[in-house]
């Protein structure tokens, strides 16, 4: 683990004065916000409040509201239309029927079509299973490809060019990937989506995951993409997108991250600062700041982040640190 540098750093620096603490906005858990928001959208669907859902979808596209961490709510709108991966067949069927009813009432809307596509992507992975490719049965592959193909059909029939909905392109990105479409088709979904909304973070996260070396990326390709993504969004969040792209790799390959990737720590640090200025009460950003400062052995930044976090532990901390022991190792 890269957090073995112990005993050098934090003595005398982890205190935060009462004045500074009172001037610092309280941190808000992105994970908790996200869960609460999804629950409200799910309830609207279960109650067949289709007109309200349509209104929300239009507002999400036009106004692009964000959570405390700066991520758009539009992504979670579609996630909330989808049953959990472990849902029973009856629950999945109920959700499909509700989305079909919504589509019947709003036949020109892309939102229910996106919801239907998202359900088929869940069904595809249920059929495949979560193991390595070598462990998937022929029947599993058949189900995976069939549901992925249905998802692509829903999304390519949706009014993508008129809806102004970057989330639909993000769904198309994954549907094309899962359906085995050529890389050019997958990348086309990214380009079209970022043309609709260059600030839609999830598309950059999706491309980052796609470019992991374990999947489709070549050595150095993800780092180059992080730099391009940051350059393209610099007017909005400075180097924040560099951090958002890189974190996809640094949290997936924790034990080998510094060996596998050559991300620039100065640019990651600038990205953390830029995000923190833009969204100053984000627990997610400050947890990332602490974890990465420890990973890259930046003692002053680690002390600052840990001082702001204190003993708190929430869903954002779980995502960033993995375990409380990792955070404790950085502190001591």
**Looking at the domain assignment, is residue 318 inside a domain?**
no
Domain that holds residue 148: 27-129+137-197
Q: Which of 105-109, 238-242, 268-272 has the lowest mean pLDDT?
A: 105-109
Quick check: 58 pLDDT over 70?
Answer: yes
Q: Give the separation between CA 311 and CA 331, rounded to whole angstroms.
A: 10
Q: Which whole-number Å values give the CA distances from 56 to 49, 138, 332, in the listed order? A: 11, 41, 46
Going by the DSSP 8-state scheme, the letter that residue 148 receives in this structure is: H
Q: Give the separation between CA 116 and CA 241, rounded to whole angstroms.
A: 30
Give the Cβ contact number of residue 46 at 10 Å.
11
- All residues at 6 or more sequence positions from 22 whose CB lies less than 8 Å from its CB, including other chains: none
> For 143-193, how does the pLDDT look when each residue is reduced to its tens digit (9 = 90+)?
889 899 989 988 987 766 566 899 999 999 999 999 989 999 999 999 999
> For 309-325, how does the pLDDT look when each residue is reduced to its tens digit (9 = 90+)?
999 999 999 999 999 99
- The whole-number average pLDDT for the span 106-121 is 92
**Looking at the domain assignment, is residue 156 inside a domain?**
yes
Residue 287: closest CA among 276, 274, 300, 299: 276
**Looking at the domain assignment, is residue 211 inside a domain?**
no
The CATH number that applies at residue 164 is 1.25.40
Quick check: 208 pLDDT over 80?
Answer: yes
Instruction: Supply the mean pLDDT for the chain.
Output: 89
Quick check: 8 pLDDT over 80?
Answer: no
Domains contained in the chain, number: 1
- All residues at 6 or more sequence positions from 221 whose CB lies less than 8 Å from its CB, including other chains: 211
Q: Is 255 exposed, middle or buried (0-12, 13-18, 19+ CB in 10 A)?
A: exposed
Q: Is 218 exposed, middle or buried (0-12, 13-18, 19+ CB in 10 A)?
A: exposed
**Looking at the domain assignment, is residue 162 inside a domain?**
yes
The answer to whether 203 touches 193, Cβ cutoff 8 Å, is yes
- All residues at 6 or more sequence positions from 266 whose CB lies less than 8 Å from its CB, including other chains: none
**Looking at the domain assignment, is residue 34 inside a domain?**
yes
Q: At what angle do helices 89-105 and 50-63 cross, to 10 degrees?
A: 80
> For 267-311, how does the pLDDT look when each residue is reduced to its tens digit (9 = 90+)?
999 999 999 999 999 999 999 999 999 999 999 999 999 999 999
Three-class SS state of 72: strand
**Looking at the domain assignment, is residue 102 inside a domain?**
yes
**Looking at the domain assignment, is residue 320 inside a domain?**
no
> For 127-151, how does the pLDDT look when each residue is reduced to its tens digit (9 = 90+)?
888 778 888 888 888 888 989 998 9
**Looking at the domain assignment, is residue 215 inside a domain?**
no
Residue 201: closest CA among 320, 56, 26, 30: 30
State the residue for tokens 């400075």.
Answer: 238
């Amino acid at each position: 683990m890269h957090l073995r540098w112990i005993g050098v750093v934090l003595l005398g620096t982890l205190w935060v004065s009462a004045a500074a603490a009172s001037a610092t906005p309280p941190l808000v858990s992105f994970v908790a916000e996200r869960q609460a928001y999804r629950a409200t959208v799910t309830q609207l669907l279960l109650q067949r409040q289709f007109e309200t859902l349509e209104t929300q979808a239009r507002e999400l596209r036009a106004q692009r509201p964000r959570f405390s961490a700066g991520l758009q709510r539009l992504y979670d709108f579609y996630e909330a239309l989808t049953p959990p991966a472990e849902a029973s067949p009856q629950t999945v069927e109920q959700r499909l029927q509700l989305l079909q009813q919504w589509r019947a009432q709003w036949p020109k809307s892309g939102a229910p079509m996106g919801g239907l596509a998202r359900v088929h992507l869940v069904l595809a992975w249920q059929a495949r299973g979560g193991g390595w490719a070598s462990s998937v049965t022929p029947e599993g592959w058949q189900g995976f490809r069939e549901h992925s193909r249905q998802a692509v059909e829903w999304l390519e029939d949706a009014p993508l060019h008129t809806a102004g909905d970057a989330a639909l392109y993000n769904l198309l990105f994954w549907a094309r990937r899962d359906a085995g479409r050529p890389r050019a088709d997958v990348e086309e979904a990214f380009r079209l989506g970022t043309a609709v909304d260059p600030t839609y973070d999830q598309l950059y996260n999706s491309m980052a995951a796609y470019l992991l070396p374990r999947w489709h990326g070549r050595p150095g390709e993800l780092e180059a993409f992080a730099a391009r993504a940051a350059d393209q969004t610099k007017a909005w969040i400075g180097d924040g997108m560099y951090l958002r792209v890189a974190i996809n790799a640094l949290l997936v390959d924790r034990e080998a991250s510094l060996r596998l990737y050559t991300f620039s720590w100065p640019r990651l640090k600038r990205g953390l600062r830029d995000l923190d200025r833009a969204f100053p009460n984000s627990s997610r950003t400050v947890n990332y700041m602490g974890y990465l400062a420890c990973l890259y052995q930046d003692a002053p930044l680690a002390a600052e982040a840990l001082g702001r976090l204190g003993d708190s532990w929430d869903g954002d901390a779980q995502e960033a640190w993995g375990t409380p022991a990792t955070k404790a190792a950085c502190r001591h």
